[in-house]
Amino acid sequence: MTEPGELEMSRRCLIASGTAGAIVSGAGRAIAQPAPAAPDAAMPVTFDVNGTQQRLSLDPRTTLLDALREHLHLTGTKKGCDHGQCGACTVIVDGMRINSCLTLAVMHEGSRITTVEGLGTAESPHPMQAAFVKHDGFQCGYCTPGQICSAVAVLDEIKRGIPSHASASLTEAPQVTNAEMRERMSGNICRCGAYSNILDAMAEIAGRDA
């Protein structure tokens, strides 16, 4: 067992040595070489995020999700599973919701991207954001940006007449029903189980828009 005093001492030493190391290496870099340039393989890409043109130079491995979070510091979009299974990374690209973790940023030259930050602000929320607050459509909130982007796109998909697995008829226009919304939201997982309240929020917006 480590005594509290020992732990505190060792932490202090660690912090001190770590800080010193940073100073040494920082100074060395400043004198000996210029700041590291982008890696040789970096590629330029330009796309529109929430109405602002963004020009980035990225390692081709960078997913759209990492470009948004790590390079543009739009951290509303969340990394959950990073494998397209949870939906936390959902954004709207050229009018279609996608998993931003399963696409490369360099594949989106010229794309128009909307993240949760582009839907509304704290002062002027998107109606869907306001409805999520009103109906308690979240608990921990981690999946919420993806849920909201998906919910906005789902109502648009129904309006555009795109059928779903829950549609009784393929030839008639789909209706905004609970069964339709539940099926279409199945790519967004909520660990807290706020599903029924998310559905209430969506139903309110669908009713308002209908």
Q: Rule CB under 8 A: which residues touch another protein?
A: 41, 43, 59-61, 63, 82-84, 87, 90, 96-99, 102-104, 106-107, 109, 150, 153-154, 157, 161-165, 167, 170-171, 182-188
Closer residue to another protein in complex, CB, 79/135: 79
Closer residue to another protein in complex, CB, 21/161: 161
Selection from 35, 21, 9, 103 nearest residue 63 by Cα:
103
CB of 92 to another protein, least distance (A): 10
Cβ-contact 156, 184 below 8 angstroms: no
Contacts of 126 (CB under 8 A, 6+ apart): 119, 120, 148, 152
Closer residue to another protein in complex, CB, 31/41: 41
CB of 21 to another protein, least distance (A): 28
**C-alpha distances in Å from residue 5, one per residue of 9, 15, 102:** 6, 15, 47
CB of 91 to another protein, least distance (A): 9
Q: Where does residue 27 fall: left (phi above 0), alpha (psi -120 to 50 degrees), or beta otherwise?
A: alpha
Closer residue to another protein in complex, CB, 87/137: 87
CA distance 64 to 128: 24
CB of 181 to another protein, least distance (A): 11
CA distance 90 to 98: 6
CB of 179 to another protein, least distance (A): 10
Closer residue to another protein in complex, CB, 85/121: 85
